[in-house]
Structure 1
Amino acid sequence: MRPETTIPVVRRIPTNRDDAFAFAIEGHLSSADIENIYGLLEAAYEQHDKIDLLVRLDGYQGFDWNAAFKDSTFAMQSRSLKHIRRYAIVGAPAWISLSASLMKPFLSIEMKTYSAEEEAEAWKWIEAEEVKE
């Protein structure tokens, strides 16, 4: 369990569009973190039929494999496929980039991976900008 003083693993990144969502993921994703992300996305789907999504992986250290294979996680992933138009993953480890490439032909969403240095291209691809707070 993480100490109370640590930065949250999932942080929402404000964007200039109501239907563009972005998250920074830092560290190791627990089951609760995964449910938090899907909960935020479910709220977005209530407002918008289709959204664009950017996920920035800063210091990503993996995820709870048990959470990835829970029935509730599969259901949330399934619902997400109906609502995501474009999905950009920035700073992904090689295995995530490879997995995304292998899954693309089977998904109805457009998905691209970018290196951390290519983040500006990812924002341009989803046609959104980060709003600095």
Structure 2
Amino acid sequence: MNYLEAVPAVRRIDTDRDDLFAVDIVGEVNAADAENLYGLLEAAYALHAQIDVLVRLTDFESADWSEISRQTLEQGQTAALGHVRKCASVGGPDWTGYARGELPEGVELRHFPADREADAWRWLEAEPRGGA
């Protein structure tokens, strides 16, 4: 199956806060999914100087970042540094230890096991809409 046939792994979650960027990442993430994620984040940054982020990993398998240019990865990281206040990771592997070393002081980053997703929403003072 090629990228055009694959179901997107990155799916927006509608929330009750305009300045909260929430996504569900399902299954295996390929280069096209990563590019889509960066594009969605850029749109959120264009609308809000500061955002909070929730990343829910559902049946996460793997992520292949090898086909993404180094420049794209660096631009994505730089943009996040200037815009993200809080980031909640829900389910999947806890990647916050790695990310903490890449983010400046002041960005709050927490991992929540899948069975504590409600705690992540409370921490971000938000709720999903539409039965997410």
* Mapped contact 2:10–2:24 kept (Cα < 8 A): yes
Task: Answer 1 or 2: which has greater helix percent.
Answer: 1
TM-score by length of 1: 0.86
Residues 111 and 52 of structure 1: CA distance in aligned 2, closer, same or farther (over 3 Å): same
| RMSD between aligned residues | 2.1
| Pairing 1:107-118 to 2, within 5 Å after superposition | 107-118=105-116
Paired position in structure 2 for 1:99 = 98
Paired position in structure 1 for 2:33 = 33
* Aligned equivalents of 2:13, 2:68: Cα separation in 1: 23
Percentage identity across paired residues of the two chains: 42
| Structure 2 unaligned spans of 5+ | none
TM-score by length of 2: 0.87
Paired position in structure 2 for 1:54 = 54
Residues 97 and 44 of structure 1: CA distance in aligned 2, closer, same or farther (over 3 Å): closer
Paired position in structure 2 for 1:124 = 122
CA shift at 1:2, angstroms?
Answer: 5.3
* Aligned equivalents of 2:106, 2:46: Cα separation in 1: 20
Paired position in structure 1 for 2:77 = 77
CA shift at 1:65, angstroms?
Answer: 3.2
After TM superposition, the runs of 4+ consecutive aligned structure 1 residues lying more than 4 A away are 104-107
What is the number of equivalent residue pairs in this alignment? 130
Paired position in structure 1 for 2:18 = 18
* Mapped contact 2:12–2:22 kept (Cα < 8 A): yes
